[in-house]
Amino acid sequence: MSITEVNKDNFEKEVLKNEGKVLVDFNADWCGPCKMLKPLLEEIAETHKQIKVVSINIDKEGELTDKYNVSSIPCLVLFDSGEEIKRNVGLISKDEIEDMIGE
Amino acid sequence: MYDIIIIGAGPAGLTSAIYACRASKKVLILEAKSYGGQIINTLDIENYPGEAHISGFDFATKLYNQAKDLGAEILFEKAVDINVIDNLKEVITTKNTYMSKAVIIATGSENRKLGLPNEDELVGRGISYCATCDGAFYRNKNVAVVGGGNTAVEDALYLADIASKVYLIHRRNEFRGEQSTVNHLKEKNNVEFIYNSNVTKLNENERLESIEVTNKDGLVKTIDVAGLFVAVGKIPENQNFAKLVNLDESGYVKSGEDCTTNVAGIFVAGDNRIKEVRQLVTATSDGAIAAINAVKYINDL
């Protein structure tokens, strides 16, 4: 499964109404650590089919960025059945992402 | 069994790998997070010879691909210890153990924290260690920078164009940073300098709301800020190797320009070594020297 680009219009459907875990990646085009994280998230999406991985561009989605109090990127937020259950700010390794999503 | 294990895939470690591979050595790079090191936070590198403009991410990716194409193996595992067994080195990671003839420690450094109780939980909620990464979140808000070196002064200058107001808090009454940058900063009318002061408390309501600043006479004041950018220096990441390799009182590996350490066959490259100038070009320079000396060491075994 690839990474879905999410915006304020489909956030509810893609993230909040999704049954099971969704890993939301808040990022921006100019952010180096975000670019480092991206291939790792693609691998996670590929190997952990039960987890949905979505991406939010903070420059385009200011409303969602503010709503979720994101003020440093990369920022990964893990939702489970619509509830935020974990958050990580900053670049992490693939192992650490797997720890975070509980795999 | 490897010829050389390089710990850290920043500019120093990757350059070591390039030189070692070109000397036909079998090379393993161990990296705890992702390749590139601190340089990936730099938006635009303007001082690397031969590259007028390149992003830190692009630079790191080119270096990484160059090392891999030459045959370097890279594993994303954190090295936690080194043992010397006769002439060989055993490098222990959180997952495995690897053997080599020589080791290059190129672990770099991490941001020094203020050490305030709620600092960690406010990271990403008002506390930042990277102005160029997070500055955009503070458009038209009040922010503070704490520190007195080049990074602090550059951060304040960068933020002055984004934030409505920037407080620069420094524990001394003059800056160690480059004078031209300090002068630029003094020309900004939305920057306020707060000298002889420390940040002593972080007030929050889910996010950072204000900071308490105490001056050297004990006078306390509270400043409302949405963001605090911490630029109080770096800590070398040598702690895991301290029992083997001699460090100075700040934790940097004791080594000269030849990048050797007190242990035969263990070399050091980059920001975690004692040195005057910590720049991209001095990190890659160290990488080359450490690799050449490691190759020489192996060939003489």
B158 to each of B129, B166, B229, B265, how far by Cα in Å? 14, 10, 11, 43
Q: Which residue has the tokens 């730099």?
A: B42
Residue in chain B nearest A40 by alpha carbon: B34
Same domain, B145 and B201: yes
Domain that holds residue B103: 2-111+234-299
**Which helix (DSSP H) or strand (DSSP E) does residue B193 occupy?**
strand B191-194
DSSP string, B90-101: EEEESS-EEEEE
**What are the residues whose beta carbons fall under 8 Å from the beta carbon of A5, sequence distance 6 or more?**
A54, A55, A56, A57
Same domain, B223 and B239: no
- Interface probe for A, chosen from B34, B55, B141, B228 (most Cβ of A below 10 Å), is B34
Same domain, B42 and B140: no
Domain edge (last residue) among B230, B255, B276: B230
Domain that holds residue A67: 4-101
Say what the pLDDT of residue B44 is: 85
- Amino acid at the residue B300: D
DSSP summary character for residue B247: B
Query: Rounded CA gap, B123 and A67, in Å?
Result: 17
Same domain, B24 and B84: yes
Residue in chain A nearest B94 by alpha carbon: A95
CATH at B15? 3.50.50.60
Give how far B138 is from chain A: nearest CA, Å: 8
Chain centroid offset of residue B251 CA: 13
pLDDT score of A61 more than 70: yes
Give how far A32 is from chain B: nearest CA, Å: 5
The pTM score is 0.88
CATH at A87? 3.40.30.10
Inter-axis angle of helices A32-47 and B56-69, nearest 10: 60
Same domain, B218 and B288: no
Query: Rounded CA gap, B112 and A30, in Å?
Result: 24
> With contacts defined as CB-CB under 8 Å, which chain A residues touch B125?
69, 71-72
B72 to each of A41, B3, B16, B22, how far by Cα in Å? 24, 11, 10, 10
B81 to each of A98, B30, B32, B93, B245, how far by Cα in Å? 24, 12, 13, 7, 11
Say what the pLDDT of residue A65 is: 93
Given a contact cutoff of 8 angstroms between Cβ atoms, the answer to whether B291 and B285 are in contact is no
Query: Rounded CA gap, A83 and A80, in Å?
Result: 5
Both tokens of B273, joined, read 């070594």
> With contacts defined as CB-CB under 8 Å, which chain A residues touch B41?
32-33
pLDDT along chain B (301 residues), means of 10: 98 98 98 94 89 95 98 97 96 97 97 95 91 90 95 94 97 87 94 97 94 97 97 94 95 96 98 93 98 98 92
3-class SS of residue B9 = coil
Instruction: Point out which residues pair with B205 in neighbouring strands.
Output: B207
Query: Are B137 and A36 a contacting pair at CB < 8 A?
Result: no
Say what the pLDDT of residue A1 is: 62
Domain edge (last residue) among B230, B265, B290: B230
Same domain, B220 and B165: yes
Same domain, B98 and B162: no
Same domain, B83 and B152: no
Say what the pLDDT of residue B262 is: 98
B46 φ/ψ angles, rounded to the nearest 5 degrees: -120, 0
Chain centroid offset of residue B165 CA: 27
Q: How many domains does chain B have?
A: 2
Same domain, B44 and B137: no
3-class SS of residue B140 = coil
Same domain, B266 and B180: no
Say what the pLDDT of residue A103 is: 65
Given a contact cutoff of 8 angstroms between Cβ atoms, the answer to whether B184 and B157 are in contact is yes
Domain edge (last residue) among B197, B212, B230: B230
Residue in chain B nearest A36 by alpha carbon: B34
On the question of a cis peptide bond just before residue A74, with omega within 30 degrees of 0, the verdict is yes
DSSP string, B26-87: -EEEE-SS-TTGGGGG-S-B--BTTBSSB-HHHHHHHHHHHHHHTT-EEE---EEEEEEETT
Same domain, B14 and B53: yes
Query: Rounded CA gap, A56 and B71, in Å?
Result: 36
**What are the residues whose beta carbons fall under 8 Å from the beta carbon of B113, sequence distance 6 or more?**
B119, B120, B230, B232
Residue B133 falls in the annotated catalytic set: yes
Q: How many domains does chain A have?
A: 1
Same domain, B77 and B89: yes
Query: Are A90 and B126 a contacting pair at CB < 8 A?
Result: no
